[in-house]
């Protein structure tokens, strides 16, 4: 029944608006670039200012937004990542079954892209090419990613309109602004090149890592050494990026890949928001060197480890159960059987809260900001943003699962009453 309803939604377009509907989409389309620029302007330079409480902010000349060299560097970066994506390395696997019954092929080779990107960084260093160019041209690089996001989104929207197939139910409402924002097509492709899969895993995540590397070099050049705070931030975030790429196949079952169309929302998030908003801590530490006591370092590392164990442990547990539901290990574990034969986990991490992976993610995010201290609020943007994002996503997940499983989901919620935070929420 649920699959039939999904297919009907896919064909006629779902009219249940999210994110405030067309008006909300319009606000986000223009508001997201303003947000990224604002976090740059309100937290830049070594003058000690990093606050939205500043009475005035002086905007630079327009030329600083459009340094041709910076825009060429970003274009070269995108082409390099496309090349790494298209090389015939790695296994080809089937993605999850889509609403129309089809399954797409995906080449899993992001670890090769990770190694290729690290090799690029060290090649630049070995040839004494100044990687501090990234810090010095941050504004132009932000502008470049925003322009690429817009161009890709417009291109894919026009492409989807012309093809009229493979549409996303959530981005097929008939309202052009809303559909452009949400993504009109579910998995837009040209040949074997999957735009959504590429953007989700490559230029933004690896760009974030590369920015951090360059910021670390900038701090080392300015102060003569790398601070423990910067080392922690770069190490923690590198581990996160490497983990995402190591478990690349698991992203295929996420809500972004299965349900969301690929439009402005995801394109901007992947290309612009992730690398430049997630690297806030590193950029802050370049301008505001922070000294940590050894006890603080140990505590921060411990929090990161706990968060990672919960995050990765719960995801591995879920993935293994999905792939091997008949494993004898699960014979006596508490589950809820659905009419389709699928079982809902009510054990392990998933018996503690309904989204233990979200809990681990939030704990790791806090560990990333702790090295920045508490004197400024802006470096704490990421954990606050992530908490709001994951709570919102949890409610979206609840709505989907309630629609899919009905009373069985109500029973699951009764057995696992807390959503993300044990004994709290």
pTM over 0.85: yes
The three-point CA angle 323-363-325 to 5° equals 10
pLDDT per residue, tens digit, the chain (425 aa), is 334 444 444 444 455 788 889 999 999 999 999 999 999 988 877 666 776 666 566 777 888 899 999 999 999 999 999 999 999 988 999 888 877 778 899 999 999 999 999 999 999 999 999 999 999 999 999 999 999 999 999 999 999 999 888 888 888 899 999 999 999 999 999 998 999 999 998 999 999 999 999 999 999 999 999 999 999 999 999 999 999 999 998 888 887 888 889 999 999 999 999 999 999 999 999 999 989 999 999 999 999 999 999 999 999 998 888 878 787 777 778 888 887 777 888 888 998 999 999 999 999 999 999 999 998 888 999 999 999 999 998 998 888 888 888 888 888 899 999 999 998 88
Q: Identify the residue whose tokens are 């054990």.
A: 347
179 and 169 Cβ atoms separated by less than 8 Å: no
Backbone angles phi, psi at 16, to 5 degrees: -85, 95
pLDDT at position 97 is 80
Distance of alpha carbon 30 from alpha carbon 417, whole angstroms: 38
Q: How many CA atoms lie within 13 A of 89 on its CB side?
A: 12
pLDDT at position 324 is 80
């Amino acid at each position: 029944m649920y699959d039939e309803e999904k297919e009907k939604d896919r064909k006629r377009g779902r009219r249940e608006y999210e994110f405030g509907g067309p008006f909300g989409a319009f606000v986000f389309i223009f508001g997201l670039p303003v947000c990224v620029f604002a976090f740059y302007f309100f937290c830049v330079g070594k003058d000690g200012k990093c606050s939205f409480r500043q009475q005035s902010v002086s905007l630079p000349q327009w030329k600083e937004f459009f340094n041709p060299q910076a825009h060429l560097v970003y274009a070269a970066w995108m082409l390099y990542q496309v090349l790494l994506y298209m090389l015939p390395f790695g296994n080809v696997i089937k993605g999850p079954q889509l609403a129309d019954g089809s399954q797409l092929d995906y080449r899993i080779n992001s670890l090769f892209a990770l190694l290729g990107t690290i090799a690029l960084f060290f090649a630049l260093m070995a040839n004494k090419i100044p990687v501090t160019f990234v810090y010095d041209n941050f504004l132009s690089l932000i502008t470049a990613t925003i322009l690429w996001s817009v161009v890709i989104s417009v291109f894919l929207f026009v492409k989807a309109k012309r093809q009229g197939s493979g549409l996303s139910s959530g981005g097929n409402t008939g309202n052009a602004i809303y559909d452009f924002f949400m993504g009109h097509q579910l998995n837009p492709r040209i040949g074997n090149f999957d735009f959504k899969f590429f953007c989700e895993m490559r230029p933004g995540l690896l760009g974030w890592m590369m920015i951090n590397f360059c910021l670390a070099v900038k701090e080392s050049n300015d102060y003569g050494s790398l601070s423990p705070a910067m080392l922690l931030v770069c190490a923690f975030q590198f581990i996160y990026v490497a983990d995402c790429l190591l478990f690349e196949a698991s992203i295929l079952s996420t809500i972004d890949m299965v349900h969301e169309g690929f439009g402005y929302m995801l394109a901007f998030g992947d290309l612009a928001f992730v690398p430049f908003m997630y690297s806030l801590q590193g950029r802050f530490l370049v301008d505001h060197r922070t000294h940590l006591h050894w006890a603080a370092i140990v505590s921060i590392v411990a929090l990161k480890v706990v968060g990672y164990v919960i995050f990765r442990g719960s995801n591995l547990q879920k993935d293994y159960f999905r792939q091997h539901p008949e494993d004898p290990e699960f014979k006596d574990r508490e589950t809820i059987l659905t009419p389709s034969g699928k079982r809902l986990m009510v054990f392990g991490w998933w018996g503690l809260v309904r989204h233990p992976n979200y809990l681990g993610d939030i704990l790791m995010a806090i560990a990333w900001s702790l090295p920045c201290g508490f004197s400024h609020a802006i470096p704490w943007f990421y954990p606050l943003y992530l908490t709001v994002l994951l709570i919102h996503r949890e409610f979206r997940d609840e709505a989907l699962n309630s629609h899919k499983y009905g009373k069985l989901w109500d029973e699951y919620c009764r057995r696992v009453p807390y959503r993300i935070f044990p004994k709290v929420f």
